[in-house]
Structure formats: C-alpha cells, structure tokens
Amino acid sequence: MSTPPTPSASPRLWEYTQRTLPVPRGRVGQFAYGLALPLLGLRVILRDRELRSDAILPVACLIAWCSLWAWFGTPPADAGWWSALGFYVGRGYAALLALAPIPSFLFARHYARMAARARTVEGLGPRDPFPRGFIAAQKKALYKVLLISFGLAPLVLLARLVPWGVGSLLALSLGAAWTLHWMVVTALDGGRSLAPGESAAAAAARQEQRMAWFGRMYQLRGRSTVDDALAPLRLFGRLLARLGHTWTGELNLLEKHPSVTSGFGLGIAAMLAVPGLNFLFRPAVISASACLRGQLEAEVDAALADAGVDAPALAEPVVVDHAGPPALAEPVVVDHAGPPARGGTVLADTSPLAARGGTVLADTSPLATPHLARTDARAQPPKEGTHDSKH
C-alpha cells in the first residue's frame, strides 16, 4: 500500500506574493517568505487607492524637478533630434542618480503615514504613524554612513592580509554583506509604526535594550598584557553600538529572525538594484517591511497569550502594608490610630514603602504622613510609664 504524499508545510514562493500569510516555521520557508515580501508590498500598494496616491506623490515631485533640470540644459549646437533627446534624457537621469536619496528626507512623515496605512490594509490592526522629522532623518543618515564606512574596518583590514587574492575576495564579501545588512535595517526602520495612542518613547521602552551585535563583536578579552592591547578595540565597539542605538528594535529583529530577514534583504536588493530608479520601489519596500514587522510582532503576542502572560495593568490599586510588601486586595477603611490593616488598599500613601509596588490613592496615617497625624488621644504615643507590660 503506497503512502500518500505529505502536504507541503509551507506554501510555494508565489503564494507568499499574493496575500499576507503567517511566517512559516522552517528556515527554507522563512527565507522564501522574506524573499517574496517586496513583491507582496508592491501588490498591496497597487490594490489600495490611497496607498497608490501616496506612492505617486514623492515620485512625481522628483521626476518633475529632474525634468525641469534637464529642460534648462543646452544640447550641442550641431546635435540632431535624437542626439538632443539623448542629451535631455541623460541629464535628467543624472539628476535622478544625485537626488534619489532626497525623498527619504523630505517625505519622511509621508512615508511614515504610508507604513501605518499599509499595515492596516494588510489586516494587521490599526496603527498610528511613527513620528519622524527632517533633522532626525539627517542625523540617522549620518550615523548610518559612519557605521557602513567604519563598522567592519578592522575585519576588512585583517582580511586583506590573507595572500593569493583570497583576502581581496573576502574583504569584498564582507563589504557586500555589511551593506546588505544595513539595507534590511533601513527597510525595517521605514516600516515602523505605533499602536493607537502609543508614544514613541513607550515603544522604545518595550524594546530589549542590549548592545548591538557589531558592538559586542569587538568586546574581546584576554590575559593582562593582551587585554590592555584590546582596550581600544573594545572602545571602538562601544562607539559603534552607541551610533547604532537608534536601530535597537531593527537589530534585535535581525538577530532573532536571521532566515526571514536574509530573504527579505535579497528581495529588496533585487528590487532596488537599478541605480536611480530605486526610489520608485521605496513605497513597496515600506509596505513589505510593515507587513513583516506586523507578522513578527503578532507571533510575539501569540506566544505571550499561550504562556498566559498579559501586559501589566497600569496603576492598579494595591495594598500598602507598612510591615511588609504590598499585595492585591480590596479598599479598606484606614484607622489613623496605627498603620493600615494588612490586606487592604488605602487611598494614598506618600511613604517610601509605598514605592515598592502598585499605585494607591491616599493614606494619611501617622506612618505615611506624620505631619498630618491626628492629635487625639489614640494617635498620641503613650506616655512613659503608662503602658501595660506583661511580666
């Protein structure tokens, strides 16, 4: 009796370009998923009218400026019709090559709204645009140039020491991989958005704060003499990590999901391979990045739900027990003759002990606010010699 064929664990590559699907489990499937995402992002933009209009605006502005620049050029006097046309086209294309990165600065907020809209269209929940500005975009571009230029400089210099031409090939491979790495980081950063009502500071606080992998790579240790010689290298790594701190979330995604981000990097590299025309596909890359971030964040939320872990509630009333740590309980009446009863929630507490957990509403007990304590006989400390003692 023949065994029926086992169905594929993941859809084919073409199916990933048709609709938004969860990230598959296998490494090969994850790589194919990431490879197909740029085409899916392009399809999402073509399907949605608002996204199409948003994608056309930066392209139209740039093409109009480059066409105007080409029009004011003067072809050679003896040039024929075709030569003059080639002159204008070449002049306009040269302007495109020079100005292709400009829309990412001038239209930073516009692209942020596109990322939020794309994630909503893809059925991954409503999102708010991530706040971006022209000056912040310039700073990030400067940091990225410094990181790409010098991040692997020690390794490239070491690779060039290898003889027989292998060192040059190895250095070239390192440079290509490093550039591809930052293409993925830039794409993931472009797809960033916020949950409704969430601030950028709150989103950053939820990220796992740790040194970037290219900073940890240089934190080498050795014996006393060697350790002193490696100190400048460790300082160089910390400087790189400081420059890359703004991409903490994106770098964490690359470390945790290497297969899908590797495929995604090759996909966007193929889409942006034509110099001067890569700005045409930038909206598709933003849409694809928004989809990828949404799927990976959905996996994290599902894992937390399966584990029974919920997000901590904000400002839940808890007990302030001055004799021990707080515990959840119902509100009780506070007798100002002494500390609050164990097992209740009081209405405000300004004592240092209340800072150990939770939020309470008020406590005017003598232990919390001595200057507000009642002056009746119950609140007064017993006079010396008047208290009962057991012998």
**pLDDT at res. 2:** 39
**pLDDT at res. 199:** 87
**pLDDT at res. 93:** 83
**pLDDT at res. 304:** 62
**pLDDT at res. 77:** 76
Length of the chain: 391
Q: Specify the DSSP class assigned to residue 305.
A: H
**pLDDT at res. 19:** 83
Name the CA radius of gyration of the chain, rounded: 31
**pLDDT at res. 320:** 34
Q: What angle do CA 258, 261, 263 make, to 5 degrees?
A: 105
- Helices marked H in the chain: 13-16, 27-47, 49-71, 81-99, 102-106, 108-121, 134-150, 153-159, 166-190, 200-205, 213-216, 224-243, 248-256, 258-271, 282-306
**pLDDT at res. 276:** 62
Which tens digits make up the pLDDT trace of 262-293? Answer: 999 999 998 888 766 677 788 999 999 999 99
**pLDDT at res. 326:** 42
Q: Are 34 and 293 in contact (CB under 8 A)?
A: no
Q: Taking the domains of the chain in order of start, what are their residue ranges?
A: 13-208+248-306, 314-382
> Does an H or E element contain 128, and which?
strand 128-129
**pLDDT at res. 384:** 46
Burial class (CB in 10 A: 0-12, 13-18, 19+), 378: exposed
Residues 325 and 321: their CA atoms lie apart, in Å, by 6
Residue 166 phi, psi dihedral angles, 5° rounding: -70, -35
Residue 283 token pair: 């909206």
**pLDDT at res. 288:** 93
**pLDDT at res. 243:** 94
pTM for this predicted structure:
0.70
With a cut of 70, which residues of the chain have pLDDT below it? 1-11, 275-277, 301-391
**pLDDT at res. 267:** 92
What is the number of alpha carbons within 13 Å of residue 124 lying toward its C-beta? 31
